[in-house]
Amino acid sequence: MPETVIKPSAKTKPKVERPKLYKVILVNDDFTPREFVVRVLKAEFRMSEDQAAKVMMTAHQRGVCVVAVFTHDVAETKATRATDAGRAKGYPLLFTIEPEE
């Protein structure tokens, strides 16, 4: 008697999509004190003094600097909180988010 071959009824598509990632970008301005930018980077992005100073100086010299990469929710929350920390002191400090390629 021939062997019974069971054909899979449906193809199981492996669905392991990665969440889209977003860069948090620090934007330079002429008014926010350097030390304040460093303080916000340390507090909101858990950076060391050295890392924060480097990121701050890169934005200061080039206009912008990528701070870190997160899922959309986290990137948006951190960028908003960091921007609000500047606003609370009357500074125009700005963090934006941008999709990662």
Residues 33-92 that bind ligand TYC (CB under 6 A): 33-34, 37, 56, 59-60
Size of the site for ligand TYC (CB under 6 A): 13
Q: Helix, strand, or coil here: 95?
A: strand
Q: How far is the CB of 76 from ligand TYC (least distance, A)?
A: 18
Question: Quick check: 26 binds ligand TYC (CB under 6 A)?
Answer: yes
User: What residue type is assigned to position 42 of the chain?
Assistant: K
Burial class (CB in 10 A: 0-12, 13-18, 19+), 27: middle
The residues binding ligand TYC (CB under 6 A) are 26-30, 32-34, 37, 56, 59-60, 93
